[in-house]
Amino acid sequence: MPTPYTPTKIQKELEKLYSSSKIFVAYMEGIDIAPYSIRFRVTQRDIQESYNSILKDIDRLHSANFQLIYKEYRFKTIGVQKLPSEVVFDTVESILATIDRVDEYARFVKIYDETIARYPTLKPLFIKKPKIILSYRDIWDRLYRVCDYFLANPNPDLYIRELSILGVDTKFIQSYRAILDTLLMHLLDNNSYLESVTQLSHSGFERKYGLRYPLPTVRFRILDSSLYIAGMSDISLPIDQFERLSIDCDMVYIVENQITTLSFPNTPRAIVIFGSGYSVGVLQGVEWLLDREIYYWGDIDSDGFAILSQAREYFPHIESLMMDRATLDRYRELGIQESNNSYKALKNLTDSESELYSDIVGGIYGDRFRLEQERVPFEWVVENIIPNYPVKLSPK
């Protein structure tokens, strides 16, 4: 049975102290935590059951040069016993030596002192999160270089690849954008970054710190040959160029599926945009779409209606196409199961859309029902888009 005096217990207590970062915070605040003591808890039962083991463990503590404080314990049955009540460490160095952390702590002190001399505004960050220094100690010099660059060149309007920082490549900034973001927010003034950007993925870091990044593209087809651009009908453009395009059309169709986009029937004064599911959000800044008739056609399933609701956030006048009960009833046998269709409130649906959405999610048409748009026969598509188009519908 282990006794209260094992060296292992002392080391565990000191490791706990070290892991809590109190030693680091004390250094940064100019406080000396030594002398530091660990109290022993010994009972009469411990002595009666493990007396010989206790003596051996105390000898081990003496052999390891631990500084022990003794006191007399008075017990009812075994009388007075003089035993260690605590172990005392007079210096921080003695604590660190006991747990073999001398070199690591020295590295922390060196990096901290150098960094605060260079960037005094980082002190509150380090007091709150001291472990980041040791977590990134092997790359700290390169972190300096990146921070120095952005301090000298806020909002550089360049791709990461174009930044001229000695010893720092594109992958370094991408790999360590989280710690760089933490440091830069404490170093740069509020006008040098977008505080509203909180997600660093999907080019969030670039947007936040004024860097260029690959913009999402919009693929669309012009459905009327009189509106072709330089003879082209199937075009992909970065979103900023698409925003400036302002095609002279009357109607815009947004569809979820790529093949459906490519096979969409020619239509006078119209274009069709490949919405690519929830990526329809990239269109929210395209102001010229507010002056066009817009129709959204997605799958008849929980995601399809969720995307429709999302699209109406940007374009309140958008109408759904073939996402109705008539289409569903006609081709219900072509439905499949989607992976998940848990209900969530969708505030931008019409009454009829909301009713159909509730029926689908509620299992009225079967468990996790889904009618994908590419399963709907082409003649039904044509009939709904161009009623006078000369295509004969197949029997239901």
* pLDDT per residue as tens digits for the range 34-63: 899 998 887 777 777 777 788 888 888 888
Which position has the token pair 């390169």?
Answer: 142
pLDDT over 50 at 388, yes or no: no
Which residues touch 158 (CB under 8 Å, ≥6 apart)?
211, 212
Helices (H), the chain: 7-19, 22-28, 44-63, 92-98, 102-118, 123-128, 131-135, 140-152, 170-175, 177-187, 204-208, 239-245, 258-263, 302-314, 325-330, 351-361, 378-385
pLDDT band with cut points at 50, 70 and 90 for residue 9: confident
Q: Hey, what amino acid is at 387?
A: P
77 and 125 Cβ atoms separated by less than 8 Å: no
Tell me if residue 326 falls in helix, strand or coil.
Answer: helix
* Rounded-to-integer distance, Cα 61 and Cα 84, Å: 10
Cβ atoms within 10 A of the Cβ of 281, count? Answer: 16
Q: Rounded to two decimals, what is the model's pTM?
A: 0.66
Torsion angle defined by CA atoms of residues 341, 342, 347 and 350, in that order, rounded to the nearest 10 degrees? 40
Question: How many CA atoms lie within 13 Å of 90's alpha carbon, on the beta-carbon side?
Answer: 5
Higher pLDDT: 138 or 77? It is: 138
Query: What b-and-e string marks burial along 284-301, b requiring 16 or more CB atoms within 10 Å of the CB?
Result: eebeebeebebbbbbbbb
Average pLDDT, the chain: 90
Is 75 in contact with 81 (CB distance < 8 Å)? yes
Interatomic CA distance for residues 388 and 165, integer angstroms:
63
Q: Binning pLDDT at 50, 70 and 90, where does residue 241 land?
A: very high
| Domain spans in the chain, listed from the N-terminal domain onward | 7-100, 119-208, 217-385
* Residue 179 DSSP SS3: helix
- Report pLDDT digits (tens) over 71-117: 887 777 677 778 888 899 999 999 999 999 999 999 999 999 999 99
pLDDT at residue 395 in the model: 42
Phi/psi at 140 (5° precision) = -60, -35
Weakest mean pLDDT among 72-86, 162-176, 247-261, 354-368: 72-86
Report CA 4 to chain centroid distance, whole Å: 45
Q: Which two tokens stand for residue 1?
A: 């049975």
3-state SS string for 201-270: CCCHHHHHCCCCCCCCEEEEEECCHHHCECCECEEEEEHHHHHHHCCCCCEEEEECCHHHHHHCCCCCCE
- In the 8-state DSSP scheme, what is residue 76? T
Lowest mean pLDDT across 165-174, 212-221, 335-344: 335-344
Alpha-carbon distance of 211 to 197, in angstroms, equals 13
Beta carbons of 289 and 283 less than 8 angstroms apart: yes
For strands 293-297 and 319-320, give the pairing: parallel
Give the CB-side neighbour count of residue 53, counting CA atoms within 13 A.
14
Rounded Cα–Cα distance for residues 23 and 174 (Å): 32
Q: What is the predicted pLDDT for the residue at 387?
A: 58
By the 8 A CB rule, do 149 and 211 touch?
no
